[in-house]
Amino acid sequence: MTPQPTLPVPDAPVLATEALVAGYERDVPIVRGVDLAVAAGECVVLLGPNGAGKSTLVRAVAGLVPILAGAVRLGGTDITTVPAHEKARYGLAFVPQTENIFARLTIHENLQIAADILPKPARSRRIAALYDMFPDLVARPSRRAGQLSGGQRQMLAVARALVAEPSVLILDEPSAGLSPKAVAELFARLNGINVAGVTTVLVEQNVKAALAVGDRAIILVEGQVCHEGPASSLADDPIVAELYLGARRARAAGR
Amino acid sequence: MIPQALIDGLIAGAVIGLGAIGVTLTYSILGFANFAHGEFISWGAYFALAVSSLLGYLFAGLATPIGPFSFGWSLPIATVAAAGLTAGLALLADLLLFGRLRARRSAVIILVIASFGAALTLRNLLEFIFTSAPAYYTRSLQIALRFGHVRATPDQLFSLAVTAVLVAALHLLLTRTAIGRAMRAVSENPALAGVTGIDVRRVMRIVWILGAGLAAVAGVVTGLLVQIRPEMGLDLLLPLFAASILGGIGSVPGAMLAGLIVGVAEALAVQWIGAQWRAAVAFVILVAILLVRPQGLFGRTE
The domain total for chain A is 1
How far B174 CA lies from chain A's nearest CA (Å)? 12
d(CA B45, CA B135): 10
Residues of A in contact with B199 (CB under 8 A): 83, 85
**Facing residue for B194 by CB, picked from A85, A102, A114:** A85
**ipTM for the assembly:** 0.88
* pLDDT the model gives residue B299: 73
d(CA B83, CA B148): 36
Domain ranges of chain B: 2-292
Confidence class for position B300, pLDDT limits 50, 70, 90: low
Q: Say if A1 falls within a structural domain.
A: no
R_g of chain A computed on alpha carbons:
18
Residues 6+ positions from A70 with CB-CB distance below 8 Å: A17, A18, A19, A20, A21, A22, A33, A34, A80
pLDDT 10s digit of each residue in chain A, 255 long? 444 444 444 457 999 999 999 998 888 899 999 999 999 999 999 998 888 999 999 999 999 999 999 999 999 899 999 999 999 999 999 999 999 999 999 999 999 999 999 999 999 999 999 999 998 888 889 999 999 999 999 999 999 999 999 999 999 999 888 888 888 888 888 888 888 889 999 999 888 888 888 999 999 999 999 888 898 888 777 777 776 655 444 444 444
Q: Say if A4 falls within a structural domain.
A: no
Q: Say if A3 falls within a structural domain.
A: no
Tell me, yes or no, if B204 comes closer than 8 A to chain A by beta carbon.
no
Residues 6+ positions from B42 with CB-CB distance below 8 Å: B122, B123, B126, B219, B229, B230, B231, B232, B233, B234
Tell me, yes or no, if B195 comes closer than 8 A to chain A by beta carbon.
yes
Q: Residue A109 sits in a domain of what CATH number? A: 3.40.50.300
DSSP B43-73: HHHHHHHHHHHHHHHH-GGGGSPPTTSS--T
- For B2-292, CATH number out of 1.10.3470, 1.10.10, 1.20.1070, 2.40.33 equals 1.10.3470
In tens, the pLDDT along B30-72 reads 989 999 999 999 999 999 999 999 999 999 899 899 989 999 9
Beta-carbon-side half-sphere exposure of residue B201 (alpha carbons within 13 Å): 12
How far A114 CA lies from chain B's nearest CA (Å)? 6
Q: At what angle do helices B154-176 and B252-272 cross, to 10 degrees?
A: 150
In tens, the pLDDT along B138-164 reads 888 888 888 888 899 999 999 999 999
The order of strands in the sheet holding A15-22 is A31-38, A15-22, A67-74, A77-78
Look up the domain containing A187 and give its range: 15-254
Confidence class for position B97, pLDDT limits 50, 70, 90: very high
